[in-house]
Chain A
Amino acid sequence: MDYFAQQLINGLVLGSIYGLIAIGYTMVYGIVGMINFAHGDIFMIGGFIALITFLILVSLGLTAIPVILLIVLLVSMAITALYGWTIERVAYRPLRHSFRLAPMLSAIGMSFVLTNYSQVAQGARVKPIPPLVTGGYTLHESADGFVIRLSNVQILVVITTIVLLAIFTWLVSRTRLGRDMRACEQDQTMAALLGVDVDRTISMTFVIGAALAAVAGLMYLLYYGLVDFFMGFVAGIKAFTAAVLGGIGSLPGAMLGGLAIGLIETFWSAYFSVEYKDVAAFSILIVVLIFMPTGLLGRPEVEKV
């Protein structure tokens, strides 16, 4: 039972990270109808920028952890968002009205570019950082000495996720930008006729998605204490799985799917085998798509004849 509770905590934390990435997939898919293959790599870039910013701040002699975290968060969000914006501008916008396969291949190409760009720029080796947020709470200690721990990093990840989600939900449901986004999702031509700047709205979608991926990158860095150039690929597929599981196009669905994938992966590793945890995640993707193509919270599609 204690072991279970501990895994539950770990799974929720991991799930929060997946959920943050999944939102980027689901938003872009909802609005432009393409799988942004490069999104996993945007997450990786976010992690790297967080790492580098952290290094600079420390070497500048800054010691107050909360201040460092805040600056790292803002810098990585800003720069990564610019990456998202640029990629849309360079690789996707020219293909927006092209054949369906073209943007997808362009996205795959962009994913290769980003992966190898950071390998070339920062080297192939794993980059570790010392634990930044330490300590935690012992929630429960059982008779056989098993301890359920809730570390401060875990609390930080979950709280940051919740806060960002709240801001993000407000942004989508209450602001002009959110309304424009929902309009473009329904019908781009009509939205344009009604005075919505479609180009700008799509750009903003990529910007927001990338910013959230940057947060996920920072969280990953804090939680696992390392980044490497290849981490975007698997994390990207899993986050996409999460988006599909939750019902692609649905924002709460993406978060829910993220949590589900995080929990499944953690429990699978804990009770079955660590080696096959990715196989489990991908198998779930296949099974969900077969039996529940619209996901948990997605809208069913009626075939038009």
Chain B
Amino acid sequence: MTAHSTNTAKPATGIPALLKSAFVNALIALVLFSLMIGIRTEAGSDGQLTYWTRFGELASLVAAVFGGSIVIDLLRQWIGPTGTEKLIPPAVQTGMSFVGRYLAPALLIFTLLVPVIFYDQRYILDLAILVLTYVMLGWGLNVVVGLAGLLDLGYVAFYAVGAYSYALLATNFGWSFWVCLPLAGILAAFWGVLLGFPVLRLRGDYLAIVTLAFGEIIRLVIINWQELTGGPNGVSSIPRPSFFGIPLDNSDNGLAAKLGIEYSPTHRIVFLFYLILALALLTNWVTIRLRRLPIGRAWEALREDEVACRALGINTTTTKLTAFATGAMFGGFAGAFFATRQGFISPESFTFQESALVLAIVVLGGMGSQLGVALAALSMIGGFELFRSLETYRMLVFGMAMVLIMIWRPRGLIGHRAPTVYLTKAQAISSDLVKEGHG
């Protein structure tokens, strides 16, 4: 059902039809881009608006649409109307399930070794830390969206609460990271409950828009409450984490001096890497355990059918709240880590785009699948990084990727569900059966 409907236009058969549809598409593109691309406006120094033409760019774009249209039509005729999933031969499928079984442990071992392999490559270590942060955020949001089926578009708010909790507690009271970390999680969970309590009765899209509004409110309050948060300037010189009380610096009582080794700034990076890895694995471990407990089963049951849950005596409000609070708590932990890693935070880091990115990771991963989320975070953040040099085009490409991924695989990379308990044999459940929640 999903893959069949991807054909937007009826695939053109024969060369003339092919050309005709390409011509129509090019014509549409010409109208769409005529003013936006063909004309460039700019405010001059005197505030007067000027414009100049860019017909060259316009022509090449229209030509690209013409060519692209032909290529896509040809590809469609090649692949045929059947979905890609059905084309995979059984032999490849068993191979894939074999890979699937060993992929997670292999990935984990590789991840543990990253600082050893790439010790000298600061850039890769930084990128790995970034990816792991998003893996953690993805896993946290997965509890809310993937398991409980609650659409949360304001997840970044809890990330922000965690980050600012640590930043403000550490800079104002000098509390250590290890004291603030649980506090940041608790505060984020508290905000999760505070928001969740009134709004969790709402269905699907309403819940989405309310959480989005909440995320924006948090950001706007951070921007405007200058006395507390420093407003748009943010909070700077946030203390770096210590190795359980021993600072990771070049001082006499630093870790390097105590161990009698030569100090290197990479120590801290490696420490941060293992810190976020530990936090992410904690998130993963807790989530996997929760899934097998009554609360986790209730989350999934809620996603499947809320009415049936109520008929079975399950308190849907508290069940939703616990999912919301658990997700928020992990977001809060990740936020505290973000603050201590960056040493500086500002409202700019907590925009709607972040929420959308994390949600895209969860959905691309295949809602509910821990491995899928990790792979999605890796490919999204990695892919994002590839376009770093293209600065302004980055979000454009990201947006296009979101649209294309949804059309290509609306159920994500790993769509099937693993049962939480079994009598004889755990069988994967096909994604066609698994509901995605309505709340």
> Do chains A and B directly touch (beta carbons under 8 Å) in the complex?
yes
Is the CB–CB distance between A82 and B28 below 8 Å?
A: yes
Contacting residues, chain B, for A275 (C-beta < 8 A) = 220, 223-224
Is the CB–CB distance between B403 and A120 below 8 Å?
A: no
Which stretch in A63-71, A95-103, A146-154, A164-172 binds the other chain?
Answer: A95-103
Q: Is A112 an interface residue (CB 8 A)?
A: yes
Is the CB–CB distance between A282 and B400 below 8 Å?
A: no
Contacting residues, chain B, for A82 (C-beta < 8 A) = 28, 31-32
Choose one: B34, B201, B407; the contact of A106 (CB below 8 Å).
B407
Is the CB–CB distance between B42 and A128 below 8 Å?
A: no
The answer to whether A109 and B406 touch (CB under 8 A), given A93-B8, A122-B41, is yes
- Rounded to whole angstroms, the CA-CA distance of A138 and B226 in the bound complex is 39
Contacting residues, chain B, for A184 (C-beta < 8 A) = none
Choose one: A94, A113, A233; the contact of B400 (CB below 8 Å).
A113
The residue on A at minimum CB distance from B310 is: A305
Choose one: A29, A35, A102; the contact of B208 (CB below 8 Å).
A35
Contacting residues, chain B, for A128 (C-beta < 8 A) = 43, 47, 49
Contact with A along B199-224 (1 / 0, CB 8 A): 10110111011101110110011011
Choose one: A55, A90, A99, A108; the contact of B402 (CB below 8 Å).
A108
- Rounded to whole angstroms, the CA-CA distance of A283 and B195 in the bound complex is 11
Which stretch in A3-11, A46-54, A188-196 binds the other chain?
Answer: A46-54
Is the CB–CB distance between B209 and A125 below 8 Å?
A: no
Contacting residues, chain A, for B363 (C-beta < 8 A) = 101-102, 105
Contact with B along A211-253 (1 / 0, CB 8 A): 0000000000000000000000100010011001000000000
**Among residues 101 to 143 in chain A, which have CB atoms less than 8 Å away from a CB atom of chain B?**
101-106, 108-129
Is the CB–CB distance between A111 and B49 below 8 Å?
A: no
Q: Is B96 an interface residue (CB 8 A)?
A: no
Which of A48, A53, A99 has the largest number of chain B CB atoms within 10 A? A99
Q: Is B353 an interface residue (CB 8 A)?
A: yes
Choose one: A79, A90, A95, A126; the contact of B35 (CB below 8 Å).
A79
Is the CB–CB distance between B216 and A282 below 8 Å?
A: yes
Interface band, chain A: 35 or more
Contacting residues, chain A, for B307 (C-beta < 8 A) = 303, 305
Contacting residues, chain B, for A90 (C-beta < 8 A) = 8, 403
Is the CB–CB distance between A49 and B35 below 8 Å?
A: yes
Is the CB–CB distance between B221 and A110 below 8 Å?
A: no
Contact with A along B389-428 (1 / 0, CB 8 A): 0001101101111110011001100000000000000000
Is the CB–CB distance between A100 and B8 below 8 Å?
A: no
- Rounded to whole angstroms, the CA-CA distance of A279 and B216 in the bound complex is 8
Is the CB–CB distance between A122 and B36 below 8 Å?
A: yes
Contacting residues, chain B, for A110 (C-beta < 8 A) = 399, 403
- Rounded to whole angstroms, the CA-CA distance of A305 and B309 in the bound complex is 12
Contact with B along A249-274 (1 / 0, CB 8 A): 00000000000000000000000000
Task: Give chain B nearest CB distance to A40 CB in angstroms.
Answer: 11
The answer to whether A293 and B36 touch (CB under 8 A), given A100-B436, A119-B392, is no
The residue on A at minimum CB distance from B415 is: A99
Contacting residues, chain B, for A282 (C-beta < 8 A) = 213-214, 216-217, 220
Is the CB–CB distance between B359 and A51 below 8 Å?
A: no
The answer to whether A293 and B202 touch (CB under 8 A), given A51-B41, A106-B406, A305-B307, is yes
Choose one: B1, B41, B221, B393; the contact of A127 (CB below 8 Å).
B41
Is the CB–CB distance between B216 and A108 below 8 Å?
A: no
Contacting residues, chain A, for B201 (C-beta < 8 A) = 290, 293
Q: Is B59 an interface residue (CB 8 A)?
A: no
Contacting residues, chain B, for A62 (C-beta < 8 A) = none
- Rounded to whole angstroms, the CA-CA distance of A103 and B402 in the bound complex is 10
Q: Is A91 an interface residue (CB 8 A)?
A: yes
Is the CB–CB distance between A112 and B438 below 8 Å?
A: no
The residue on A at minimum CB distance from B224 is: A275
Q: Is B151 an interface residue (CB 8 A)?
A: yes
The answer to whether A49 and B36 touch (CB under 8 A), given A55-B49, A286-B213, is yes
Choose one: B42, B217, B223; the contact of A125 (CB below 8 Å).
B42
Contacting residues, chain A, for B406 (C-beta < 8 A) = 95, 98, 102-103, 105-106, 109
- Rounded to whole angstroms, the CA-CA distance of A62 and B346 in the bound complex is 47
The answer to whether A52 and B39 touch (CB under 8 A), given A82-B28, A90-B8, A106-B406, is yes
Is the CB–CB distance between A79 and B34 below 8 Å?
A: yes
Is the CB–CB distance between B399 and A116 below 8 Å?
A: yes
Q: Is A56 an interface residue (CB 8 A)?
A: yes
Q: Is B279 an interface residue (CB 8 A)?
A: no
Q: Is B82 an interface residue (CB 8 A)?
A: no
Contacting residues, chain A, for B8 (C-beta < 8 A) = 89-90, 93-94
The residue on B at minimum CB distance from A45 is: B36
The residue on A at minimum CB distance from B214 is: A286
Q: Is B171 an interface residue (CB 8 A)?
A: no
Contacting residues, chain B, for A52 (C-beta < 8 A) = 35-36, 39, 41, 51
Q: Is A156 an interface residue (CB 8 A)?
A: no
The residue on A at minimum CB distance from B356 is: A108
Is the CB–CB distance between A112 and B396 below 8 Å?
A: yes
Q: Is A285 an interface residue (CB 8 A)?
A: yes
The residue on B at minimum CB distance from A90 is: B8
- Rounded to whole angstroms, the CA-CA distance of A105 and B357 in the bound complex is 10
Contact with A along B78-101 (1 / 0, CB 8 A): 000000000000000000000000
Task: Give chain B nearest CB distance to A68 CB in angstroms.
Answer: 15
Contacting residues, chain B, for A160 (C-beta < 8 A) = none
The answer to whether A94 and B6 touch (CB under 8 A), given A35-B205, A104-B205, is yes
The residue on B at minimum CB distance from A240 is: B209
Is the CB–CB distance between B5 and A120 below 8 Å?
A: no
18 contacting pairs across A/B (C-beta < 8 A): A52-B35, A55-B41, A55-B49, A55-B51, A86-B28, A101-B436, A105-B363, A106-B406, A109-B401, A109-B402, A114-B399, A116-B392, A125-B42, A128-B43, A278-B220, A286-B210, A293-B206, A305-B307
Shortest Cβ-Cβ A-B pairs, 10 listed:
A109-B402, A112-B399, A113-B399, A102-B410, A282-B213, A116-B396, A109-B403, A106-B406, A116-B395, A275-B224
Further pairs besides A108-B360, A290-B202: 11, Cβ < 8 Å: A52-B35, A79-B32, A82-B31, A101-B363, A102-B406, A112-B402, A116-B395, A275-B223, A289-B209, A293-B201, A293-B202
